[in-house]
Amino acid sequence: MHLPPYSPELNPIKRLWLYIKQNILHNKVYNTIALLESALCKFITSLFLLCNVTHLTCQQ
């Protein structure tokens, strides 16, 4: 069975994690897990609003 070459640039979740690492986590220190969770939830919420999705996964 032939498998295609590994192409992370074609995988949407890989691109999302790359964006999070470059823009949310890069060169920042979160003193608590709660602060990190808050930053990630804000990002995910803004992403869902930008994409016009009605169901948000972050619960406060």
What digits encode the pLDDT tens for the residues 11-40? 778 888 888 899 888 899 999 999 999 999
Q: Could you say which DSSP state residue 24 is in?
A: I
Taking only Cα atoms into account, the Rg of the chain, rounded to an integer number of angstroms, comes to 15
> Rounded to a whole number, what is the largest CA-CA distance in the chain?
48
Can you tell me which residue has the tokens 């060169």? 27
Share of the chain above pLDDT 70, in %: 77
Q: Taking all residues of the chain, what is their mean pLDDT, rounded to a whole number?
A: 79
Under the banding of pLDDT at 50, 70 and 90, the label for residue 52 is low
